[in-house]
Amino acid sequence: MNEYDSEKMADVLLDQSDYQETKILEEADMVLLNTCSIREKAQDKVFSDLGRLRDLKVNKPDLLIGVGGCVASQEGRQIISRAPFVDLVFGPQTLHRLPALLTERARSGRPQVDISFPEIEKFDHLPPAKKDGGAAFVSIMEGCSKYCSYCVVPYTRGEEVSRPFESILEEVSSLTQQGVCEITLLGQNVNAYLGKLDGQTELADFAMLLEYIAEIPGVERLRYTTSHPREFTQRLITAHVQIPQLVNHLHLPVQHGSDKILMAMKRGYTCLEYKSLIRKIRQAKPNIPISSDFIVGFPGETDADFQELMDLVHHVQFDNSYCFIFSARPGTPAANLEDSTPRAMKVARLQALTSLIDENILRISQSMVGNTERVMIEGIAKDGQKLQGRTENNRVCNIDLPSLGQAKRLIGKMVPVVFTKALAHSLQAELVTR
Ligand code: SAH
Ligand code: SF4
């Protein structure tokens, strides 16, 4: 989501100001930090990065420094109190106002702060996306209204708001006209999508959005992240069967396997309900690889709770997943819960979980060897000799070639390969030539 937001910041500045993008920090007239506050570590990084930028500004007093994203949203004006050399503070929902904030900064000579939530205004004020690769993100909704007890997102990004249906189709179609063939739809709970249709009172749901996007010429592969187990409808399951471009992979975060912890997290489902949903999905799409997010060390998690999580991971055979240690976030209900689990025990649980998942990853990769699949070519592999692609289930895949020269034209395209070998976190493959 933040990567997408960063691209939008660049788009809006390219379109409405004289700024151009540079990757060289010392060359920049303005530096924008797009920040994350989902866990404490990410938040701490902002202030250490700001320290380094202050040193840069000492030698270049005209350098403008902006802080965007969720830390900006959470801390607001306090960022300026703590780091008075910061010129702009803006939130995830006001990044489209960057040009106006810059003008006002220049006019008034004072730091500007705007962390409001002007609903969906943002999308009406962003220029059409520009893209030169084969894959692109498209945001379909903003914010979240689920209020899981540990999570800052509803406070930093605001409540769930769906982007109008037609505006999403227009963005996708403008991207495919630029050669994009893989689209990843973004949102905190994409399956809660309910978008306005031009000139109609009824609303479009997520399954309908997928059906329409799949009809747009040039959309060869379709992904979405993140979906929530609570609104995973039969219509959406059917969409997975009927829409050929939808990848054979699903990221469906469960967070935990103990009902006690799920309840304390306010996730809104039990472990059995999650397992039944997976059974239904796999009846429709046998063996679909499913990945998840997990939080270990939530306040009150016992060895028995953790074992239930491990049992679930074994049962579902989760594929490559994101595993986190609980981080108490200011302003969230879970931050006030008594947390007596020693840090070392949390770390040990995290390691046990990731090694169990690593076993699943390797098993799934091994089962892919010999299969043919169309992969998205993202670029040249680290060794400089192979092409690097991405599989439907999000694995890096390195493709052996007789010579790289000719094959470079395949970058940004989908090409058929046959998998030849499974490694710990990647696959080897060969081009299928006709
Ligand atoms: N909307 C998505 C997740 C967005 S946040 C969903 O509900 O699935 C991405 C992940 O960060 C979450 O799934 C969760 O596993 C993790 N996370 C969120 N808040 C956290 C916290 N306070 N401590 C540790 N991990 C957290
Ligand atoms: Fe956070 Fe829960 Fe919303 Fe995901 S669903 S963004 S974890 S509050």
The string of pLDDT tens digits covering residues 249-284 is 999 999 999 999 999 999 999 999 999 999 999 999
The string of pLDDT tens digits covering residues 325-364 is 999 999 999 999 999 999 999 999 999 999 999 999 999 9
Q: Identify the three-state secondary structure at position 420.
A: strand
Task: Please give the distance, rounded to the nearest whole angstrom, from the Cα atom of residue 1 to the centre of ligand 1.
Answer: 13
Question: Once rounded to an integer, what is the mean pLDDT over residues 219-231?
Answer: 96
Pocket residue to mutate for ligand 2, from 39, 147, 227, 329, most atoms within 8 A of Cβ: 147
Question: Which residue has its alpha carbon closest to ligand 1 atom 8?
Answer: 253
Distance CA 60, CA 115 (A): 27
Counting ligands in written order, which one lies closest to the CA of residue 333? 1
Q: Which atom of ligand 2 is nearest to the CA of 255?
A: 7
Over the range 45-61, which residues count as b (16 or more CB within 10 Å of their CB) and which as e? ebeeebeebeeebeeee
Counting ligands in written order, which one lies closest to the CA of residue 334? 1
Which residues neighbour 379 within 8 Å (Cβ) at sequence distance 6 or greater?
387, 388, 411
Q: Which atom of ligand 1 is nearest to the CA of 322?
A: 15
Distance CA 252, CA 190 (A): 11
Pocket residue to mutate for ligand 1, from 151, 267, 347, most atoms within 8 A of Cβ: 151
pLDDT of residue 210: 98
Question: Which residue has its alpha carbon closest to ligand 1 atom 2?
Answer: 188
373 has pLDDT over 70: yes
Q: Which atom of ligand 2 is nearest to the CA of 144?
A: 3
Task: Please give the distance, rounded to the nearest whole angstrom, from the Cα atom of residue 317 to the centre of ligand 2.
Answer: 23
- The amino acid occupying position 131 is K
The string of pLDDT tens digits covering residues 192-209 is 999 999 999 999 999 999
Question: What sign for the dihedral angle of Cα 342, 344, 345, 349?
Answer: positive
β-strand partners of 34: 68
Structure tokens, 286: 């046998």
119 has pLDDT over 90: no
pLDDT of residue 133: 83
83 has pLDDT over 80: yes
Q: How far is the CA of 299 from the CAs of 44, 279, 295, in angstroms?
A: 22, 30, 11
Number of other CB atoms surrounding residue 122 within 10 Å:
22
Task: Please give the distance, rounded to the nearest whole angstrom, from the Cα atom of residue 189 to the centre of ligand 2.
Answer: 8
Q: Mean pLDDT across the chain, nearest whole number? A: 94
Q: What percent of the chain has pLDDT over 70?
A: 99
Q: Identify the three-state secondary structure at position 123.
A: helix
Which residues have any ligand 1 atom within 6 Å of their CB?
A: 38-39, 144, 150-151, 188-189, 226, 228, 253, 255, 293, 295, 324, 326-327, 329
Question: Which residue has its alpha carbon closest to ligand 2 atom 5?
Answer: 146
Pocket residue to mutate for ligand 2, from 1, 148, 230, most atoms within 8 A of Cβ: 148
Which residues have any ligand 2 atom within 6 Å of their CB?
A: 144, 146-148, 151, 153-154, 188-189, 228
Q: How confident is the model at residue 434 (pLDDT cuts 50, 70, 90)?
A: low
Task: Please give the distance, rounded to the nearest whole angstrom, from the Cα atom of residue 224 to the centre of ligand 2.
Answer: 16
Question: Which residue has its alpha carbon closest to ligand 1 atom 21?
Answer: 327
Distance CA 349, CA 368 (A): 29
pLDDT of residue 120: 63
pTM (predicted TM-score):
0.94
Between 395 and 131, name the one with better pLDDT.
395
136 has pLDDT over 70: yes
Element (H, E) at 296: strand 293-296
Q: Which atom of ligand 2 is nearest to the CA of 188?
A: 6
DSSP sequence for 360-389 = HHHHHHHHHTT-EEEEEEEEE-TTSSSEEE
Q: What percent of the chain has pLDDT over 90?
A: 90
The string of pLDDT tens digits covering residues 138-165 is 999 999 999 999 999 999 999 999 999 9
Q: Which atom of ligand 2 is nearest to the CA of 154?
A: 8
pLDDT of residue 123: 76
- The amino acid occupying position 166 is E
